[in-house]
């Protein structure tokens, strides 16, 4: 099987820490090139990560005829432009979450790729982890009775205010970064879109970037949900669901879903307590393999266009509710 040859737009930390190691383990895929606006930075990244080719301009990477697909971990504000430019160069794109800053922008991206008959997908890796799929299965099997309340939290302790997450014009803020996980997991476990949305946030800086945010949903079925997210708060990552007969909880970095980390789904039902161990899985690797399979065969991906756009529609509503 000829491997899908990927290039990276930018030398982002997430690419080095997460995607590059997982790409090495993924069947039928390899990183072969990286581009940065600084050739020296691209060369250093390539040397450190055993990537063959380094470019000092994004355009040079897109023009490389040997590259099949692009991983785009640029700031959110640059996702639409550079993903579509990749499509114009005939490259499929796996774009870091969130796909863009608004639902309309994300839909425009998908439309552009569809017109060119090229694959685009959002890199929302946790949805590939067997753990979140098992939680949904338990809910659907009645493990907690009728679902009543769902909850999620994802805080990241980022105290460097020069980080791009502190700049609204770059697509920064808690909600678009870690909050997008919370919105996604609550929508996934509820199995529907919220009918009502409320939000409150602590804004910081001259442009009012959301440092910490809390949101509440009500779903058509009657399920209510709440979440919290922050970029200047002690790390905390968990989600769960409560019901008429029990409750489920995944804590200890549930949505971060670290490769190599074992997890436990905690289940209370009346006075009974059960743990469901979930063996370590690399959700990044699973995501890459799904992307490559779709690129080769045209098979639909686990994370759909509709899901990615609808997640941003809810995020748009949360911003509008502030």
Among 41, 48, 91, 97, the active-site one is: 97
- How many other C-beta atoms lie within 10 A of the C-beta of residue 300? 10
- Whether the CB-CB separation of 305 and 100 falls below 8 Å is answered with no
* Adjacent-strand bridge partners of 265: 276
Q: What are phi and psi of 10, to 5 degrees?
A: 95, 155
Report d(CA 195, CA 177) in Å as an integer.
Answer: 23
Q: Identify the residue whose tokens are 């692009």.
A: 70
Provide the edge-to-edge strand list for the sheet that holds 29-35: 53-55, 29-35, 4-9, 69-72, 92-96, 120-123
H or E stretch including 249? strand 247-250
Pairing label, strands 263-269, 247-250 = antiparallel
Closest-CA residue to 72 (of 99, 95, 98, 88): 95
Separation of alpha carbons 40 and 162, rounded Å: 21
Alpha carbons 135 and 132: distance in angstroms, whole number: 5
Q: Is 91 a catalytic residue?
A: no
| Cα distances (Å, whole numbers) of residue 237 to 125, 127, 229, 254, 314 | 15, 15, 9, 6, 20
User: Taking phi first (over 0 means left), then psi (-120 to 50 degrees means alpha), and beta for anything else, what does residue 109 get?
Assistant: alpha
Who's near 273: CB < 8 A, 6+ residues apart?
A: 266, 267
Q: Is 149 exposed, middle or buried (0-12, 13-18, 19+ CB in 10 A)?
A: middle
Give the active site residues. Answer: 97
């Amino acid at each position: 099987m000829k491997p899908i040859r990927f290039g990276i737009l930018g030398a982002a930390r997430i690419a080095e820490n997460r995607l590059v190691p997982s790409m090495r383990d993924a069947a039928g895929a390899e990183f072969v090139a990286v581009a940065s606006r600084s050739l020296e930075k691209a060369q250093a990244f390539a040397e450190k990560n055993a990537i063959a080719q380094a470019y000092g301009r994004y355009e040079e990477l897109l023009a490389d005829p040997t590259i099949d697909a692009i991983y785009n971990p640029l700031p959110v504000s640059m996702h639409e432009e550079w993903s579509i430019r990749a499509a114009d160069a005939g490259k499929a794109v796996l774009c870091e979450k969130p796909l863009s800053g608004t639902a309309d922008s994300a839909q425009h991206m998908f439309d552009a790729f569809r017109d060119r008959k090229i694959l685009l997908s959002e890199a929302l890796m946790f949805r590939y982890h067997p753990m979140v799929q098992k939680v949904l299965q338990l809910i659907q099997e009645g493990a907690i009775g009728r679902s009543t309340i769902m909850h999620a939290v994802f805080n990241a302790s980022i105290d460097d205010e020069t980080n791009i997450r502190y700049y609204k014009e770059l697509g920064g803020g808690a909600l678009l970064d870690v909050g997008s996980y919370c919105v996604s997991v609550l929508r996934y476990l509820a199995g529907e879109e919220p009918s009502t949305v409320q939000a409150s946030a602590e804004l910081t800086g001259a442009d009012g970037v959301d440092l910490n945010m809390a949101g509440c949903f009500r779903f058509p079925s009657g399920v209510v949900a709440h979440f919290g997210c922050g970029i200047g708060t002690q790390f905390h990552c968990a989600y769960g669901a409560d019901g008429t007969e029990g409750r489920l909880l995944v804590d200890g970095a549930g949505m971060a879903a670290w490769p190599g980390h074992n997890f436990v789904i905690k289940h209370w039902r009346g006075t009974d307590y059960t743990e469901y161990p979930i063996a370590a899985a690399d959700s990044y690797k699973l995501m890459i393999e799904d992307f490559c399979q779709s690129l080769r065969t045209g098979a639909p991906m686990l994370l759909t266009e509709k899901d990615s756009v609808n997640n941003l529609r809810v995020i748009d509503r949360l911003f509008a509710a502030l």
